Amino acid sequence: MAATEQHHQLAAPKFDRPTRLLIVVAPYYKDIADQLVAGAEAAISAAGAEHETIEVPGALEVPTAIRIAARGADYDGFVALGCVIRGETTHYDTVCNDSSRALMLLGLDGLAIGNGILTVENRAQALARAEVSGQNKGGGAAEAAMHLIALSRKFLRKSKGIGFKPDSENIQIA
pLDDT digits (tens, 9 = 90+) for 1-59: 455 677 788 888 888 899 999 999 999 999 999 999 999 999 999 999 999 999 999 99
Q: Helical H runs in the chain?
A: 30-46, 61-72, 91-108, 123-130, 137-155, 167-170
Residue numbers annotated as active site: 91
Reference 80, options 60, 101, 63; nearest CA is: 63
Say whether 143 sits in a helix, a strand or coil.
helix
Q: Hey, what domains does the chain have and what are their CATH numbers?
A: 25-155 (3.40.50.960)
% of the chain surpassing 90 pLDDT: 78
Q: Residue 33: which residues within 8 A CB-CB, separation 6 or more? A: 25, 26, 27, 81, 82, 83, 130
Rounded to two decimals, the pTM is 0.87
Give the tens place of pLDDT for each residue, 72-111.
Answer: 999 999 999 999 999 999 999 999 999 999 999 999 999 9
Residue 16, Cα to own-chain centre: how many angstroms?
20
